[in-house]
Amino acid sequence: PSEIESTLNHISSHRNVRGVVVLSRDGPIVRHTGAAYKGEHGRKYAGVIKKIVDACKHGFDETIERGDDLKISANTTKKHEIMISPGVISLLARV
């Protein structure tokens, strides 16, 4: 498998990972693993992830020196942890 597929499989294989999603820069899902990102539920997660990334980028634009970018964001609720790592081409998240 490609390096991307290997990485997705590696992350997905961890015991507590419910799914991995790769989004385009505009937000639609490009690839996903696990039931957490299927159908409408997946589109909801994708929208939330896009909003989080956009808010972080906006905050960086206003407060952090030029050229500094978000590398990883961990968002924890009572039931879930969402880790977001924006890339040049896509966004990778795990739930």
pTM higher than the cut 0.85: no
For 14-67, what is each residue's pLDDT tens digit?
Answer: 888 888 888 887 778 888 888 878 889 888 888 888 888 888 777 777 776 666
Distance separating the N- and C-terminal Cα atoms of the chain? 23
Amino acid, single-letter form, for residue 68: D
b/e 57-87 (16+ beta carbons within 10 angstroms → b): eeeeeeeeeeeeebeebeeeeeeeebbbebe
11 contacts 93 by C-beta, under 8 angstroms: no
More confident residue, 84 or 62: 84
